[in-house]
Amino acid sequence: MIYFDNAATSWPKPPAVRAALEEYFGEAGGNPGRSGHRMSVAAARIVENAREALAELFNTSDPSRIVFTQNATHALNLAFYGLLRPGDHVVTTSIEHNSVMRPLRHLEELGIKVTIVVCTPEGKLDLEAVRRAIGHDTRLLVTTHASNVAGTLNPVQDLAALAREAKVPYLVDAAQTAGSVPIDVQKMGIDLLAFTGHKGLLGPTGTGGLYIREGLTLAPLLRGGTGSDSAHEIQPAFLPDAHESGTLNLAGIAGLRAAVQFLLEVGVETVRAHEQKLLAQFLAGAREIPPITLYGPNDPPFQCGLVSFNVVGALPSEVGLILDQSFGIMSRTGLHCAPSAHRTLGTFPTGTVRFSFGRFNTAAEVESALEALRQIAAWAAKGAAVCGQQTVKTWTA
């Protein structure tokens, strides 16, 4: 089996992640901050060690600025609903995931104004267009770090400088880059960073977080028990407790801590270089298969480790099914929860096939995938499948 769906969730996980889960369930299964016995203390230590590891990974000197959430979507919602009020204005882009678009569409109904800066068909963003979109009432700039469809990397540091000049907080959706592209929140000038644990960070599902720059205050999305300040019925105002109501996903955080420690030892720069090499290999090979249409910048330094494409004469769903059933290659097909991005690329409503490479993929796997696509392209060229038809002739290699 070849797994090229790391942009959805990474697989496999480092062995240390499974070991951390086993250790948690065997030795540290208490509730952190709720009791004083040894298992509760051990659980609390796991949480704080994970927070410190993430702070090191993203280069923030204060680990309390890292708030744990269920995933990047939860983190983005925390930022949106914690910061924005009726009458505020938000600037975003046309290549955002629905984890950004859907909350913003809901907030529009509550009186928030939203401006969407349209990117090029390659997913590239015009900085001057962003500058023009920011007004006196703009309360937030939010962009993805890398498109989950085109793979296009946004110039985060330049965008942060632009936002800082306008005195507007900048929120970065790092769902596709945390753990696979180096992120330094201080150097890059990021105010808010939403990340998930189960993709490039190589951790379990159900984990993620939000980095909140010092001096920036968000209203809590949830209120309830935090294990701290228990004599009062008012939500704690200090971080991270203000945003961590209820019992955390301790098992997931234990696995995430092990995954982040693995990345710190390997080096995110090393992961990035590996994924770029695989991407370059795939792009070079795919360009030699004329029936394949590639989307995005198609230039490894300017995109993360994923690529979207279509095979002329075949629907994305057909290609994905054949890759899985005949070649054992796992990919993702369709709209990837990002219809605006597909409209930008010109691939709406059928979508694309997406390969997303990870830390444990190999050059041999990429070559196997290219050979599979050569066979699929030849089959499609014979008229075995016609884009738009509901009934497809039987696939034969």
Cα separation, 351 vs 354, whole angstroms = 9
- Please indicate whether residue 387 is annotated as part of the active site: no
Cα separation, 275 vs 181, whole angstroms = 10
SS3 92: strand
Cα separation, 94 vs 127, whole angstroms = 13
Cα separation, 285 vs 254, whole angstroms = 40
Residue in this structure with the two tokens 């004469």, named with its chain if needed: 313
Cα separation, 292 vs 221, whole angstroms = 45
Q: Are 153 and 302 in contact (CB under 8 A)?
A: yes
Q: How many other C-beta atoms can be found within 10 angstroms of the C-beta atom of residue 231?
A: 4
Structural element, H or E, at residue 245: none
Cα separation, 311 vs 165, whole angstroms = 44
Please identify which of the residues 119, 304, 337, 387 carries the catalytic annotation.
Answer: 337
In sequence order, which residues have a C-beta less than 8 Å from that of residue 78 and are 6 or more positions away? 67, 69, 210, 218, 221, 243
Residues with active-site annotation: 337
